[in-house]
Amino acid sequence: MSDTAKMTGEEMMALARELYPICRSITGDGVRKTLDILGNHLALERREVPSGTPVLDWTVPREWNIRDAWIKDADGKRVVDFAASNLHVVNYSVPVPAQRMSLEELQPHLHSLEDRPELVPYRTTYYDENWGFCLSHRQREALEPGEYEVCIDSSLEDGALSYGELLIPGTSEEEVLISAHVCHPSLANDNLSGIALATAFAKALSTSPRRLSYRFVFAPGTIGAISWLAANREAVARVRHGLTLVCIGNDDGLRYKRSLDGDAPIDRAVEAVLERSGETCFVRDFHPYGYDERQYNSPGFRIPVGSLSRGQHGEFPEYHTSADDLSFIRGDRLEGALDTLFETARILDTNRQYRSLAPFGEPQLGRRGLYRAMGGETNPADLSIAMLWTLQLADGEHDLLAMAERSGLDFEVVARAAALLEEHELLEAIG
């Protein structure tokens, strides 16, 4: 891959900064604007699914858009202002024409965090027609009793749900699905880090030929992934591996949540990469709470999709608050995650099952010059042991990852041994 195709951490941060002010939601112009910006980097195909479309067990909701919202005090001063931060309005709030109400009447519509009084929470009301404002607890406590004017200049109308999709073909039709949610407004780690990382990964893959095809889906959480699945019921059979990229730009070790299967090649590939990364990494089993890996792993689809993140969602204190801002994510953390994705892609591309073509007893390696081939290796002992392991396990059942696990050797050494044996017609790759 050329250097120009690989976005630096700073370039990923620049993309996150560009996307940060946009008020995204599960539908509406915020998602379209986001996809437009990603379109400056990728040849994304835009899909629009009309409101009311049945998608699996769901229905695409009406489209939400917002222009302005405020709470004004008796002097007409905006004390809570959507223009200052889009987190101040409960996402998907129904329109509220300008009207006066007492603080008492307003209170049930206010959301703050008593235990973190400086932070503004992020709240949504997608499937419940309601409205509200979010503010810091400090701000809320400073509101004097009396009359306020409130207004939410939003609309909830028939429209569409938008998502973006990109297929980067490899030599094989087998696909790897990379999915990032694009429905959160001004929150950096929880969705911009995943969006920027997926964009950088797609951009780099576009210029580097490979075996596996890659499909990128940039869709609103849950309903977007469900809409994509509904439109691709047949096509998903080609998807062999997948990852959701979420909350991955903060200063924390990489975390991998396994697919439901738990032992799929994607699980073993990511774990192999994390093991040798030298970083403190965490691996946890699948659980049915989190992001769109829930949809992809559901019984009707069972696509082995794991989730790569840093702060486990819901387990970092900045989660879904105004503290998840641009200062919470870092370019070097995104770059580290990008390297992990490249290495995982390389393993997935190379990983195959092998069958020995000389399975009866040990083939005579010396006669084939395979000992000489080891002469130039920096660690000849590893390569020769890897050849023996590979021949021993080449029963058509074990893949290279399994051989690396069983032997305790690095995946690359095992892969090189298999390539050498294949060249000498002692092994054949299956599938």
Q: Site mask, Zn ion, residues 217-256, x = CB under 5 A? A: ----------------------------------------
The secondary structure of residue 241, as a DSSP letter, is E
Binding segment (CB under 5 A) for Zn ion, from list 100-108, 182-190, 333-341, 379-387: 182-190
From the CB of 184, what's the least distance to Zn ion, in Å? 6
Nearer to Zn ion, 162 or 193 (CB): 193
Q: Which of residues 351-380 bind Zn ion (CB under 5 A)?
A: none
Cα dist from 86 to 25, 77, 386, 391, whole Å: 11, 18, 56, 60
Residue 365: burial class (beta carbons within 10 Å; 0-12, 13-18, 19+): buried
CB distance 280 to 257 below 8 Å: no
Q: Site mask, Zn ion, residues 23-62, x = CB under 5 A? A: ----------------------------------------
From the CB of 221, what's the least distance to Zn ion, in Å? 7
Nearer to Zn ion, 221 or 304 (CB): 221
Nearer to Zn ion, 190 or 293 (CB): 190
Q: Site mask, Zn ion, residues 189-218, x = CB under 5 A? A: -x----------------------------
Q: Site mask, Zn ion, residues 135-174, x = CB under 5 A? A: ----------------------------------------
Q: What is the dihedral of CA 237, 239, 242, 244, to 10 degrees?
A: -70
**Which residue's CB comes closest to Zn ion?**
190
Helix axes 331-350, 411-423, angle to 10 degrees: 30
The Cα–Cα gap between 119 and 240 comes to: 41
Strand pairing report for 255-257 and 305-309? antiparallel
The Cα–Cα gap between 88 and 69 comes to: 8
Binding segment (CB under 5 A) for Zn ion, from list 32-40, 87-95, 185-193, 346-354: 185-193
Nearer to Zn ion, 91 or 407 (CB): 91
Provide φ and ψ at 2, rounded to 5°. Answer: -80, 155
The Cα–Cα gap between 13 and 195 comes to: 11
Q: Could you tell me how many residues of this chain bind Zn ion (CB under 5 A)?
A: 1
Q: Which of residues 76-115 bind Zn ion (CB under 5 A)?
A: none
Query: Does 63 participate in binding Zn ion (rule CB under 5 A)?
Result: no
From the CB of 320, what's the least distance to Zn ion, in Å? 6
Nearest CA-CA partner of 177 in 261, 296, 273, 265: 296
Beta strands in 169-279 (DSSP E): 175-181, 213-219, 239-245, 255-257
Query: Does 324 participate in binding Zn ion (rule CB under 5 A)?
Result: no
Query: Does 293 participate in binding Zn ion (rule CB under 5 A)?
Result: no
The Cα–Cα gap between 308 and 297 comes to: 15
Nearer to Zn ion, 39 or 290 (CB): 290
Give me the residues that bind Zn ion (CB under 5 A), please: 190
